Amino acid sequence: MYAQILIGVKPRSGSLYKKHCTLTPTYVPQDVQRIEKAFGEDGCLKQPKELSINKVGHALSELDPVFRKFSFSGKVCSMLFSLGYKRPVVIQSMYIFKENCKSEMVSILQVEVKQPGIGGEVVPHQDNSFLYTEPPSCTGLWLALEDATITNGCLWAIPGSHKNGLKRRLIRGENGVHFDRPSLSYDQKDFVPLEVKSGSLVVIHGNLVHQSFENQSPKSRHALSLHVVDTDGFKWVGDNWIRRKVALEPLYVY
C-alpha cells in the first residue's frame, strides 16, 4: 500500500523548515549530513523511492481510514481501558522509513518501518519527553507487522527504568525546539532486546528508556506505533512540539 502512494509522490521545491520555522538552525545541517548516506555520487537515491523514504505522519490515525480502524478497534480500546485510561486520544501515529542516520528528534512514537539495510538507529529516549501531559500519561503501542529481531532492528529497553521518573523534555519555544536538559549516558549492558513475532503488541510506559539499532540485515522490520495520552484529568502542555488547532476525537469516553 505505502509503495503505491510513494511512487506517485513528486516533491516540490522549497523549504518547510524555512516557511514554518519549526527547527533550530543547528538541527538542519546535522540532518543534511545524515541524509547524504541515502544518495549515490550521481545525486540519485541508492534504492527505489519506496525503499528510501524516511517517514509518513504524524496523524495517520486521524486521517487514514486503515490506521483509524485499528486505533479505534475494540482490542485497542479494551487494552487501554485495562490500563486505566478514561478518555484516551492518539496524539501521534506515523509510518516511518528510518534511513541510516542517528537523530534524537525523530525518535518519537510512530508507525515504523525499518527498511532492509537502511533502517536507522533510534537513540535511548523516553516517550514522555516528546509527548507530555500534566501529570504524564503517554503510553506507546508498538505493533510488529513483521518479526522483529536483533539483526533487523528490534526494540531494546532497560527493565524497570520507567520507575526512575522523566529525565528531560523536548520544548517548543519561539525559536524552535530544544531539550531542557542534556542527553544522558546509558550503559548498553542494561538494555535487553525485545524480539517479538509478527502480530505481537509491545506496550511501552511513557518513562521507559528504550532504543533500537540500525537495520543492517536484508530483511525489513515493519511496525505500527501509536502514542496515546489521556485527556480526562490530564493537561496537554502548551510547549509540546505538537500543537493542534482542533481537539482530537477520543477513542472512547468512560
Cell readout for 128 is 514522555
pLDDT tens column, 53-74: 656 778 999 999 999 999 999 9
Which of 19-33, 96-110, 203-217, 226-240 shows the lowest per-residue confidence on average (mean pLDDT)? 96-110
pLDDT by residue (tens digit) across 5-27?
555 555 554 444 445 444 444 44
* Closest CA relative to residue 167, chosen from 73, 228, 217, 104: 104
pLDDT value for 108: 40
Domains in the chain, CATH or no CATH each: 45-236 (2.60.120.620)
Global pTM exceeds 0.75: yes
Cell readout for 40 is 549515490
Residue 87 CB contacts under 8 Å (≥ 6 apart), including other chains: 230, 231, 232, 250, 252, 253, 254
